[in-house]
Amino acid sequence: MYIARLARMLVLGPLGESVGRIRDVVISISIVRQQPRVLGLVVDLATRRSIFIPILRVASIEPNAVTLSTGNVSLRHFVQRPGEVLAIGQVLDTQVKVNDPELPELAGLDVVVTDLGIEQNRTRDWMVSRVAVRTHRRLGRRGPVHVVDWQSVQGLTPSALALPGQGVAQLLGQFEGRKPVDVADAIRGLPAKRRYEVLRALNDDRLADILQELPEQDQAEVLSQLGTERSADVLEEMDPDDAADLLGMLNPTDAEMLLTRMDPDESAPVRRLLTHSPDTAGGLMTSNPVVLTPTRRSRRRWHGSAIRT
């Protein structure tokens, strides 16, 4: 079983009832070269809450669903602890080296982790047993995927995962086709390093859609990481009322700098909204017009009692 295939897989209770969908798999990666162990699953509930389910609660993993041995699970929001690593969110796209006598063509090359294979051992613990890696060719072409034993991989350590510049291709693939609000929830669950690596890799339009689904404080932090030019580009793609709300959180100097860098046609409606107090009708409304087609039907409702004469 490969971890990337578990993403968004349905999680069922012992009676077949739906529990949620898998967001990520939590593993342990030791400083010393011990075989990584699977600790549990991060599962998104229908209520948008993410919870942790220990791997010992898993009765079976089938191609289309994971079934739990018990319906008694903790509903506490998942918080990553020291020593825990998100397999999809942190390990995929990590650059490593492979020392495998059967694959001399990989000797000395930097390869990228594309997936992790897991299996149960004799004590019924789930362990990372294999690592799928891919080489990079010239002109950005992707090379073939090789599956190697985890012991042949060098560089899969906590310190390596903390290094900047990690790729995001595999992680972006997991977000493809998903709603902005779902991607925003998933990104908020990543460690800060990975969160900003993913956000920087998104195109302006997609980033604007996702940014609008984040809490305002998180939005301001993202802008501080993007830099002035990129932030202005993203603000241009946002709805004017959302852009105004975000700029209203910044100090006036920073907000004016971003407005100046924006296209004048895009910044004009934002400036108009910023002239209103945020708790007034003008501050709450959007500058986008409501367009009604000629065939649009309207309904008139009468309120109150009949007029007495």
> Residue 40's domain is classified under what CATH number?
2.30.30.240
Domain encompassing residue 225: 202-284
Residue 154 in domain:
yes
Could you say which of 109, 143, 161 is where a domain stops? Answer: 161
Q: And the tokens for 254? A: 């920073």
Q: Tell me the pLDDT band of 288, cut-offs 50, 70 and 90.
A: low
Pairing of strands 142-149, 153-154: unpaired
Same domain, 74 and 96: no
- Mean pLDDT value of segment 34-63: 95
Query: Do residues 249 and 216 lie in contact, with contact meaning Cβ atoms separated by under 8 Å?
Result: yes
Query: Do residues 183 and 7 lie in contact, with contact meaning Cβ atoms separated by under 8 Å?
Result: no
Residue 78 in domain:
yes
Per DSSP, which regions of 29-125 are E strands?
37-44, 50-54, 58-61, 65-68, 84-86, 95-98, 111-120
Same domain, 97 and 73: no
* Three-class secondary structure of residue 114 per DSSP: strand
Q: Which residues, including other chains, have CB under 8 Å from residue 212's CB and lie 6 or more apart?
A: 180, 219, 238, 239, 242
- Hey, CA dihedral for 153, 157, 163, 168, is it positive or negative? positive
Give the C-alpha separation, 100 to 104, whole Å.
7
Tokens 């006036």, residue located: 252
- Mean pLDDT value of segment 276-290: 54
Same domain, 40 and 108: no
Residue 181 in domain:
no
Residue 140 in domain:
yes
pLDDT tens digits, residue range 73-85?
Answer: 999 999 999 999 9
Give the C-alpha separation, 42 to 45, whole Å.
10
Query: Do residues 246 and 238 lie in contact, with contact meaning Cβ atoms separated by under 8 Å?
Result: yes
Q: Catalogue the long-range contacts made by 275-279 (C-beta closer than 8 Å, 24 or more residues apart).
A: 278/245, 278/248
Query: Do residues 36 and 128 lie in contact, with contact meaning Cβ atoms separated by under 8 Å?
Result: yes
pLDDT tens digits, residue range 84-141?
Answer: 999 999 999 999 999 999 999 999 999 999 999 999 999 999 999 999 999 976 656 7
Residue 138 in domain:
yes
Residue 270 in domain:
yes
Give the C-alpha separation, 298 to 27, whole Å.
56
- Mean pLDDT value of segment 32-45: 93
Same domain, 149 and 209: no
Helices (H), the chain: 158-161, 169-175, 180-188, 192-201, 204-211, 216-226, 228-237, 240-249, 252-261, 264-274, 281-284
Same domain, 143 and 108: yes
